[in-house]
């Protein structure tokens, strides 16, 4: 079989070179070769093209094999290097092998030339594959596959080196943690491919902006870290942050689409005097968490944030334990017909009595549950507990049916693929024809995930579950969009009810919502009714239902039955 090989021969005798070539050709090789006699010629040949093997005479008038071997190594080449000499002592041969030569042959005995060359080609291939594997492992271990940037591990290593240098030679540096705002909207709106292209362009723009001494890394799906070194002072760091906001506000061209986005940035600088890179990165991440509360914002870390973050983590762990061990419980707030003063429904509200902190407001632990994903198991527990309570009340409240219990759904619950099946299953197991399950979704959640929300709620509504928009008026939907939603009831937010007497504009809004809802055959519930005058105004506006402390505060299940039995005074006042 004809095999091609590129051979570089370091030899001053053309006849000896011809013998090497003849040996290779007799064994089926087509040889492309060049003969060199000195360092200059060999260096030029190595720079000019790649070679498969080098054969070198041990001693030449102006050169020798060890010098040739050293030159190859200087150029960082790993080629089979075989010495072919007229005579060579054993000590000289051993020294050459220790220096990096792979084999040696005598010119008067070339029968081993081809077997030795083929063995060294195989060994060189193994070395190349091993080297490539190590490089691949290096890339996987320290570099982000998508952007080619250093990853979190390598960034922490660079940052630790910077910290150590700072201890010896103080200079001002800062760490920036950048989180792309609304990246998931970009990814799901434009698709994963364009989302990835967008991330690559963000990385390129940041890399083009930064200085050679700076370090940039991708540390999360939509998060980057920058180490800015050799700064003069805090003012220069602030200026750098402002520049980043400015360059990233410019839209990104991805294929034919323009993608606009901003970043929220957490900043920590060397004045914190941490000893470990992880401490700096954690501080910057914590600052970013606070910055994201206002999109496109920048927050500089302070020690108070760390305390608050630690408290949040503790509360998260306690909440997870409380859900697992069912330490939470439900209260139920009655919803009253404003025309008959009879109870028609309840809203289920989660309550948590912490073993150390006492009562914790839902306004504190519900957002935490949504941020951490704990809202999924919490929401499932609420739905099961509500349906279980329906079963318990089936006989006790039989004289007051039909009744319903409303349960709030979070945005994260709404996009779970198994939500409809889960609700259908628990309804089949628990529910009767006396008390019905209702679901409430806030206006902002409904509009944020409009397409998927409408599809999911339509399935639930077709199953026979009534749907209510909660906190209506506080979101960003238009009233004209209302008729497209699969809903049965509108709940007017308490902020309008509380101010409708003092503020005529709020009263006009309440009247408009009620009027529009009635035109669309929707019922209206007014939240936050606290006075008799508020109730009477809502009656005059033909609002069907009211909920608030004027009627009752949220009550534990054991008090509900007694409360209903003792509410005759309401009916008598009609």
Quote the pLDDT of residue 164: 93
Of residues 558, 27, 157, 174, the one with CA closest to residue 331:
558
What values do phi and psi take at 117, rounded to 5?
-65, -45
Beta strands in 355-434 (DSSP E): 358-360, 403-409
Residue 431 pLDDT > 90, yes or no? no
437/431 Cα distance (integer angstroms) = 8
The residue to which tokens 């006396």 are assigned: 434
Residue 2 pLDDT class (50, 70, 90 cuts): low
Question: Which of the residue ranges 122-136, 142-156, 360-374 would you say has the lowest mean pLDDT?
Answer: 122-136
Of residues 155, 491, 499, the one with CA closest to residue 333:
491
Quote the pLDDT of residue 573: 45
Structure token digits, residue 142: 């320290």
237/317 Cα distance (integer angstroms) = 36
561/435 Cα distance (integer angstroms) = 14
402/194 Cα distance (integer angstroms) = 52
Structure token digits, residue 243: 């520049």
Of 3 and 550, the one with more pLDDT = 550
452/447 Cα distance (integer angstroms) = 10
293/281 Cα distance (integer angstroms) = 19
Beta strands in 172-238 (DSSP E): 172-180, 215-220, 223-231
Quote the pLDDT of residue 480: 57
Q: What is the pLDDT of residues 481-527, one digit of tens each?
A: 677 788 999 999 998 999 888 888 889 989 999 998 999 999 999 99
End-to-end CA distance of the chain: 107
Contact 404, 389 (CB under 8 A): no
For 560-573, letters b (16+ CB in 10 Å) and e give beeebeebeebeee
Q: What is the pLDDT of residues 521-549, one digit of tens each?
A: 999 999 999 999 999 999 999 999 999 99
Region 261-285: mean pLDDT is 91
Question: Which of the residue ranges 152-161, 340-349, 544-553, 561-570 would you say has the lowest mean pLDDT?
Answer: 561-570
Q: What is the pLDDT of residues 115-127, one digit of tens each?
A: 988 998 888 888 8
Quote the pLDDT of residue 478: 52
The angle, 0 to 180 degrees and rounded to 10, between the axes of the packed helices 277-291 and 303-324 is: 80
pTM (two decimals): 0.60
Q: What is the pLDDT of residues 238-270, one digit of tens each?
A: 999 999 999 999 999 988 888 888 899 999 999
Average per-residue pLDDT for the chain: 88
């Amino acid at each position: 079989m004809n095999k091609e090989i590129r051979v570089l021969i370091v030899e001053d005798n053309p006849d000896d070179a011809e013998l090497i070539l003849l040996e290779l050709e007799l064994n089926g090789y087509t040889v492309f070769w060049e003969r060199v006699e000195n360092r200059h010629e060999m260096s030029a040949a190595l720079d000019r093209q790649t070679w498969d093997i080098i054969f070198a005479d041990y001693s030449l008038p102006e050169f020798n094999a060890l010098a040739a071997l050293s030159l190859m190594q200087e150029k960082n080449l790993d080629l089979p290097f075989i010495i072919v000499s007229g005579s060579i002592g054993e000590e000289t041969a051993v020294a050459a092998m220790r220096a990096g030569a792979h084999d040696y042959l005598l010119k008067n005995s070339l029968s081993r030339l081809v077997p030795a060359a083929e063995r060294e080609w195989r060994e060189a291939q193994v070395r190349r594959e091993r080297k490539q594997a190590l490089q691949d492992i290096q890339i996987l271990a320290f570099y982000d596959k998508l952007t080619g940037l250093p990853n979190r591990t390598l960034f922490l290593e660079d940052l630790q080196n910077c910290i150590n240098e700072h201890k010896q030679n103080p200079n001002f540096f800062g760490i920036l943690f950048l989180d792309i705002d609304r990246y998931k909207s970009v990814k799901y709106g434009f698709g994963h491919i364009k989302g990835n292209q967008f991330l690559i362009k963000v990385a390129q723009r940041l890399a083009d902006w930064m200085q050679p001494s700076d370090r940039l890394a991708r540390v999360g799906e939509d998060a980057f870290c920058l180490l800015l070194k050799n700064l003069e002072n805090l003012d220069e760091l602030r200026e750098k942050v402002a520049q980043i906001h400015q360059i990233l506000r410019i839209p990104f061209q991805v294929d034919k689409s323009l993608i606009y986005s901003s970043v929220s940035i957490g900043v920590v600088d060397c004045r914190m005097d941490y000893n470990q890179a992880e401490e700096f990165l954690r501080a910057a991440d914590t600052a970013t968490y606070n910055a994201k509360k206002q999109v496109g914002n920048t927050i500089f870390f302070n020690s108070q944030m760390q305390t608050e973050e630690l408290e949040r983590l503790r509360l998260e762990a306690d909440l997870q334990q409380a859900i697992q061990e069912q330490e939470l419980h439900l209260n139920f707030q009655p919803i009253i017909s404003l025309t008959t003063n009879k109870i028609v429904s309840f809203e289920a509200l989660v309550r948590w009595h912490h073993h150390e902190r006492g009562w914790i407001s839902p306004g504190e632990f519900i957002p935490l549950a949504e941020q951490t994903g704990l809202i999924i198991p919490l929401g499932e527990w609420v739905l099961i507990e509500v349906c279980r309570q329906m079963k318990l009340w089936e006989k006790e409240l039989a004289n007051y049916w039909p009744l319903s219990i409303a349960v709030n759904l979070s945005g994260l619950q709404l996009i779970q693929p198994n939500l409809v099946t889960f609700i259908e299953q628990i309804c089949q197991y628990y529910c009767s024809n006396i008390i019905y399950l209702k679901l409430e979704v806030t206006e902002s959640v409904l509009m944020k995930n409009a397409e998927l929300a409408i599809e999911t709620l339509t399935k639930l509504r077709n199953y026979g579950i009534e749907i209510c928009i909660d906190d209506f008026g506080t979101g960003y939907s238009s009233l004209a969009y209302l008729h497209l939603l699969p809903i049965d009831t509108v709940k007017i937010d308490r902020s309008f009810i509380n101010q409708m007497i003092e503020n005529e504009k709020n009263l006009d809004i309440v009247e408009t919502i009620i009027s529009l809802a009635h035109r669309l055959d929707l019922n209206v519930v007014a939240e936050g009714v606290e006075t008799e005058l508020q109730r009477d105004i809502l009656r005059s506006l033909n609002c069907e239902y009211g909920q608030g402390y004027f009627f009752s505060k949220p009550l534990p299940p054991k008090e509900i039955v007694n409360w209903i039995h003792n509410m005759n005074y309401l009916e008598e006042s009609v």
